[in-house]
Structure 1
Amino acid sequence: MTDAQFRPHGRHLIAGAWVDTPDHFSSSPAEGPAFEFSAGNAALVDDACRAAAAAFDAYASTSIESRAAFLNAIADEIESRAAAITWIGSRETGLPPGRLDGERARTTGQLRLFARHILGRTHLDERIDAAQPERSPLPRPELRLIQRPIGPVAVFGASNFPLAFSTAGGDTAAALAAGCPVVVKGHSAHPGTSEIVAEAILAAQKSAGMPDGVFSLIQAGSRVVGEALVTHPAIKAVGFTGGLFGGRALFDLCAARPEPIPFFGELGSVNPMFVLPSALDGRAEGLGAGWAGSLSMGAGQFCTNPGIAFLIDGPAADRFIAAAHAALEAIAPQTMLTDGIATAWSRGTAQMAATPGVRTLLNSGASGRNSAPALFETDAETFLATHHLHEEVFGPTALVVRLPSEDAMLSVARNFSGQLTATVHIEEADRDLATSLARILEHKAGRLLVNGFPTGVEVCDAMVHGGPYPASTNFGATSVGTMSIRRFLRPVCYQNAPEWMLP
């Protein structure tokens, strides 16, 4: 092996120590050798959660400056392992090295963004109402509000983002910035990537002098591991990125606890795209090709993949579809992240192809873990009457819905459940319809895009990556951007407290 390569040792990181367990599993890489990893279990979850609880008071009491330095140190340690992370990550997931390099930069960028954010103190939302001892008929004491960390947080690694939504990703960065210890359940799709990132966090933890229990990584195991994690009494919130079925099951467990806790789940969506008449007339070919590129990016394995396009039927719709078809047909098969994702995608695509009223325009199929784009079309009546057409097919599968009128476009928008994103393509002449559509869509999605494509989520102050259920389980939260730190804080009001008592 060269210095850029990485051979995992296959253990869990629990409170500063690498730990083995009796049961093991093998990774299932897209290429190269498989490695053995210790499998998580309920006893290991208990050890990690107890360590996080023991570390909470000390870590929550660290200064903002110390936590910011810790976040920056994690970013530095990740970058020092850049070549090895790309090597193992690309082999485990099939993602190209360039994508892994970009995702690593996003991950370290999130850590540094939160370091800057907490140094500005705006996340504390400090509010002071001065005392009014002379007020009549009753005096008012001084009241001070400040946001405080909630306690240990459980984070579930995502299959489609081995870095940015996994071990040191946005949920972990936000929780650590808030002052909360983190227990990560790694994803079985990329255990080696999780391990090397955990090594980076451990190195930063030691150099920054943070408590041992501030971070733990439990590698994948049976469903019992996730259930034990979200029901452990030490855990006070959960961050999750994944599918609706598994996410809803964990959400229900959190709600059923003796002490219910918030479950911040991002569960995916179809991210509808509406092309309004003037935009369609003037830009049909460019929009069709652009849509094809967006929905097939990364083999369609983005939670913001715009899987459905709505068009007013006519010659311009024909041109849009022809351009999308040509662009998708030219895309070579791509490797999907896991065998399970490839199987689920094939099943969903086959179901769409077999649906009465749906016409297949392109369906090259796939073999094994590879996928090729598929394109279908239907009408508004069939779409509204067929529930599974509203559900996400995670991969490069696209559906065009031909609509008879502008009223029909508004009608299908009203019938959508919660989405992460909704997109409108407009021109000035579309103003009336666009305004009416926007008033509907702002109640359906967390992010409303105009004349763009939703794949790609900017990490910044104003970003919202969340939406009404089932896109996410908490419509008031985001898992990307600086506002995501609010998930792991709660307001505390100090009444008439002396300065030395305040945090």
Structure 2
Amino acid sequence: MITGKNYIGNRLSSDGDITFKTFNPELNLENANLFVQATEQEVIKAVDLATEAFDSYKHFSGKEKAIFLRIIADEIEALGETLLQTYCSETGLPEGRAAGERGRTVFQLRSFADLVEDGSWVEASIDTGIPDRTPAPKPDLRKMNIPIGPVVVFGASNFPLAYSTAGGDTAAALAAGCPVIVKSHPMHAGTGELIASAIIKAAEKTGMPNGVFSNINSQDYNAGQQLVSHPKVKAVGFTGSIKGGRALLDIAAKREEPIPVFAEMGSINPVVVLPKALQNRGNEIANTYAGSITLGTGQFCTNPGLILGIAGEALSNFTNELGSKIKEINPTCMLHPNIHGAYEKGKQQAVNQEEVMIVAGLNTEIQVNYASQLVATVSGKTFLENTTLHHEVFGPFSIVVACQNIQELEQIIASLEGQLTGTIISDENEVADYVDLVAKMQNRVGRLIFNGVPTGVEVCPSMVHGGPYPASTDSRFTAVGINSIKRWVRPFSYQNWPNNLLPDELMDENPLQITRLINGELTK
């Protein structure tokens, strides 16, 4: 089923002469399939097709798009064990994780189908005219969200399904009425092609225009740079490193027509453990966080890489217990030798900083490409002075910071870059005494967690997965949940337009029976 070719619209294409293979980190060897990197001409063709498709696809009804999205979900499920086995062979992740991520992916697609079928997401607003108003007539104004145009989505290394080919960005953009060109991640190109085949089958079954979806293979930066630079591309979705996201943001900003880049670029996700919680249940918290730090080999953007507390016996006991629990957990495989190498380099750089002490790590020999988890500790003063320690180490690593007092802890929070999440661990009503701390945390994060762990991102309307830069490039938008559709639309107003020529969403008679804001009142 895997051809190694690109989908340029609904046609398989392999005009180039550069090839590559994916890698099985568990077995430490290359996979068999050979993938052909897209040529510049193939990239241009994909964008041209997407532009042509947009002219018709933007007019498809919510019901038509909903059918398309649901059939994509059905086709993904129909891939069965082939998809799961390919996923595992390209990531080193277990089959249970693959099945869980597939479930999340199809849930996202069906959630967006429900959203666009209902139709109220367009946020229709009508302010009826008053022709005889003095001293000047009031015009009739009607506003709704409309799709922005062809979108480029970059597959994520750590979520081959939920944040990649048919992941949240793609589902949201297709739901909005935007054709999508995916730049498939080279580490899981086989998984990407299987998902792309499901999308193409769904598009053909539902009569979608050719070019509504394309899938581009590339092992280097050329295709991605070409896509973001192309004048017909109108927006970009990216999940990955700060370096990668920032590079795309800069390319988009330098275009003759700058376009938005919605990049989610990781985080160290600060966790504050308040004094009473440390005193009363430090061992319990340590056990919970040992599991969170090592979950998925620490390869989540919400991994708790920074834990803060007030220096003293309770924090020392907690830190030692966390180290003890970390050592009891069996190491697991990382996604790729390159990611494993970057983890080892980042971890070593952190522990080599002055006054950083290793609490616990694995000293035993482990399997190739497996990660050796580690907990370190440092004083609040040193952490404040050394911004190298503020950077994410992508993997099962966390640093415990012993703050001199609550003022120093608050100063550290205020000094951090933007984060996806922040967590406060409190005993009973203890957090009520730390109003300033909560306020400072809110200024730095997109989601604030109480007595929990940051790992685990629920897909629902109230989820915010984003945060101040560099957690994301636009903190006004979420990358998860149905509200992410707002990234791929723009508001548009009709003034004094004939009722019979208006879109159904704005007609007087409201044929779609959607909720609208009419003269300041929400109504159907």
Q: TM-score, normalised by structure 2?
A: 0.93
CA distance in 2, matches of 1:190, 1:373: 24
2:419 aligned residue:
419
- Which residue of the other structure, out of 188, 197, 205, is the alignment partner of 1:207? 205
Q: Distance in 2 between matches of 1:254 and 1:460?
A: 30
Encode CA deviations 1:350-401: one digit per residue, 9 max, x unaligned.
1112111100122326664111211100000110111110000000011000
Q: State the SS of the aligned residue for 1:370.
A: coil
Residues 84-111 of structure 1, C-alpha deviation per residue, up to 9 Å, x if partnerless?
Answer: 1111001110010000100000000000
C-alpha distance in 1 between matches for 2:368 and 2:341: 8
Contact 2:303 2:455 (C-alpha < 8 Å) held by counterparts: yes
Aligned partner of 2:98 in structure 1 is 100
- Identity across the alignment (%): 43
Contact 2:292 2:453 in 1 (8 A): yes
- For the 8 Å contact 1:144–1:495, the answer to whether it is kept is yes
Rounded Cα–Cα distance in structure 2 between residues aligned with 1:322 and 1:183: 49
- Among candidates 136, 149, 159, match of residue 134 of structure 2: 136
What's the CA shift for 1:83?
1.4
Bigger Cα displacement from structure 2, 324-333 vs 467-476: 324-333
CA-to-partner distance for each residue in 1:393-441, whole Å, 9 max, x for gaps?
Answer: 0000110001121112211111111000011011244234432211111
CA distance in 1, matches of 2:240, 2:21: 21
Deviations 1:207-228 (A, max 9, x none): 1110110000001232111100
Distance 1:411 1:433 in 2: 17
* Structure 2 residue corresponding to 1:11, chosen from 5, 9, 12: 5
Cα-Cα RMSD = 1.2
What's 1:240 paired with?
238
Q: Which amino acid aligns with 1:331?
A: I
1:189 aligned counterpart, secondary structure? helix
- Which one-letter code corresponds to 1:437 in the other structure? L
- Does residue 479 (structure 1) correspond to residue 479 (structure 2)? The answer is yes
The one of 112, 117, 120 equivalent to 1:119 is 117
Match of 2:17 among 2, 22, 25: 22
Amino acid at match of 2:285: L
Q: CA deviation at 1:320?
A: 1.4
Contact 1:332/1:372 (8 A) holds in 2? no
Contact kept, 8 Å, 1:40 with 1:222, in 2: the verdict is: no
Quote the offset at 1:8 in angstroms.
Answer: 1.8
Q: Matched residue of 2:443: which SS?
A: coil
Gaps of at least 5 residues in structure 1 are 1-6
SS at match of 1:420: strand
Between the aligned partners of 1:444 and 1:367, the Cα distance in structure 2 is: 38
**Aligned residue pair count:** 497
Distance 1:431 1:362, change over 3 A: closer
Superposition map of 1:172-321 within 5 A? 172-321=170-319
Residue 374 (structure 1) aligns with: 374
User: In structure 2, what is the equivalent of residue 443 of structure 1?
Assistant: 443
Amino acid at match of 2:479: S
Residue matched to 1:466: 466
- Report whether the alignment pairs 1:62 with 2:57: no
Cross-structure match for 1:4: none
Residue equivalent to 1:431: 431
Q: For residue 21 of structure 2, what is the amino acid of its counterpart?
A: S
CA drift at 1:147: 0.3
Q: Corresponding residue for 1:405?
A: 405
Shift of 1:492: 0.3
Instruction: Name stretches of at least 5 consecutive residues in structure 2 with no aligned partner.
Output: 504-524
Q: Identify the residue that residue 508 of structure 2 maps to in structure 1.
A: none
Offset of residue 139 of structure 1 = 1.1
**Residues 105 and 166, structure 2, Cα contact 8 Å, conserved in 1:** yes
Contact 2:300 2:455 (8 Å CA) reproduced: yes
The question of whether the paired residues in 2 share the 8 Å contact of 1:237 and 1:262 is answered with yes
Q: Residue 321 of structure 1: CA displacement?
A: 1.4
| Aligned mates of 1:276, 1:42 — CA distance in 2 | 55
Q: Which residue of 2 aligns with 1:78?
A: 76
- More moved, 464-473 vs 330-339: 330-339
2:456 maps to what in 1? Answer: 456
The one-letter amino acid paired with 1:107 is T
